Structure 1
Amino acid sequence: MTEGNFVDYVRIFAESGNGGKGSAHLHREKYITKGGPDGGDGGRGGHVILRGNKNLWTLVTFKFRKHFKAGHGEHGSKGRSSGADGQDTYLEVPLGTVVRDVETNAILFEITEDKEEKILVEGGMGGRGNWHFKSPTNQTPRYAQPGVSGQETSVILELKVLADVGLVGFPNAGKSTLLSVITSAKPKIGDYEFTTLKPNLGIVEYRDFQSFVMADIPGIIEGAAEGKGLGHYFLRHIERNSTLLFLIPADSTDIGKEYQILLDELRRYNPELLDKEKLIAISKSDMLDAELMDEMRVELEKDLQGVSFMFISSVAQQGIQELKDKLWSMLNN
């Protein structure tokens, strides 16, 4: 998937169908000149329905088409024949799609399961035919109900990436490199900040044909919770990750402080993020010798307050299998 095709925020307009009119027909037949009312009901207007699709990873289908309309219900006819319901319009969305009200930004509902369906806009009810209104005092009603008009709405579709493990770190921490080594994904890699502008997903193949999904998400900077840098654009994508893998390079001036800054940004955006399982990977560890690694291990055990950490090198393929084992254990605990 190219970076330009990763669309995770769109505004769409949806309009449901009108209900069909009820019929005011009176039964007429040879030798029956004054038959009773036999007008049928109008059909229901079509709904606009969102449906989850596990094979979709982006909202790119809504990039160029943003208006959707369902069919109108047909009118009732004689012989108590009801009109056909209007055709429903189905919008396929990836799992993890949140639907928000344009005016209030309130969450209306979320789609998290494959084939899960939610009605975005309900079609108008069909009008009742005149035979419903027959009574002892009014045996030939010459009126029927009109159909109810359809509804229209504008909503925001917002995708929050569904992944088992989310990579958290400052720009240029080596997240994309790790993802390219540990999965078959081919993210954009460079030695400058914000190489990654869109989330990248990769499937990590584990033992016995098992696997889990890892997401490389744009890096955090201080102030991200207030919208600096890529701000909320990044932070909303880690809300659905069950485990957070913090990636901090071994050449960082203060690994403990860097971890606390990352934690603080998550806390300010959504304190519930701190309840997730956490693991710290010290990347670029191929530049460390055994003695320096032992010294750092002693310091980190003090600074990281009991959070598990390990040394890895994506380029030298050091500690990669151990990292997979640890993540698998955390995901299946």
Structure 2
Amino acid sequence: MKLTDHLLYIDITQICGIGCSFCMYSDKHKGGINLVLTEKSENNLKGLINHNSVKRISISGEGEPLNNIEAFHKLLDFSHKKNEFEFISSGFLPKELMYQFYIDTNNILLKSKSKCNIRLSSDSYHLEKIKHRSHGLSIDWFIKNPESHLSFSFRSIDTDKEFTRNFLVSEAMKFGYHAKIKEINNLTDEIIINENYIFKIDYKNLVKPKDIENDNFLDLKEYISEIELKTNKKFTLGSINVENNGMDVTIKPDGSVFFYGIENIKLGNLNLDDITWENLEHHVENNKLINNLYRIPFIDLIESMKDNIIINEIIRRNNNPYWVMKELETYPEILKEIASND
């Protein structure tokens, strides 16, 4: 199995005051920690970030990453080549602070000529909990700073897409822009500003919806099917590329390293171990569970265990493959069965 174009997720904080009921990390927010960069972790991250095999570095958190801007800017500054960064946030800061955040972030990106896409949560679950909203400001920043190394997109977990669509159109109008929505597929819209500027809107499945039988919610198989239609490729864990998949690595605020969605297997710690893409690839090649999850389509793995009552109930409750894997951490026998699948 050839692995190319890897994703690196860096969770820089567990601190969050928003309090979304569906958050898979809500148990960590009380007394949560920020990522603190040591000399060892800095050396590891510089090697991972500047490797030619990296497709994108996504910086977010088990909380709200704006609570650790210092770490975010350090990570950007580690880049010595043109990298593609992503910053996933609610954008909850007051507009003047958010504007300064964009200026400071862009100035750092200028050094390496890297780019960063700011992805703002744009659904009713997040927006009802934040006072300051930076969506219109972000559109305005992009249009008024055409040479900026920042770009912007939006993300939503609303089953009622009209909420997200209407909200973003109204935010653009507040800054004097004409906006319209173009539906691309069931998981993607575009908001078009003044006929010239296009911003992407990604829709994700709301995990563990309270009303499971609500027809607006996609179940696990429907959600994966939509991902496959969008990417024109069977869904497996890992970075889904046009040809060969890549590794999808996540780093936690305490420095722990995992493959995204396979957090029952710790790969090391940034503060203690030497972490390289070559060592991580060794885990994919030699661990049967990881290898199967990267190699075999997720739906095929599920179908092979369709008579298992436990996994059927987990699938019924969870409409996101990563949440399924999170629950399976407490069922080692099922993970052993996945590992034995040929």
TM-score, normalised via structure 2 length: 0.28
> Which has the larger share of strand?
1
Which of 1 and 2 has higher RCO (CA within 8 Å, sep 6+)? 2
TM-score, normalised via structure 1 length: 0.29
**Higher CA-based Rg:** 1
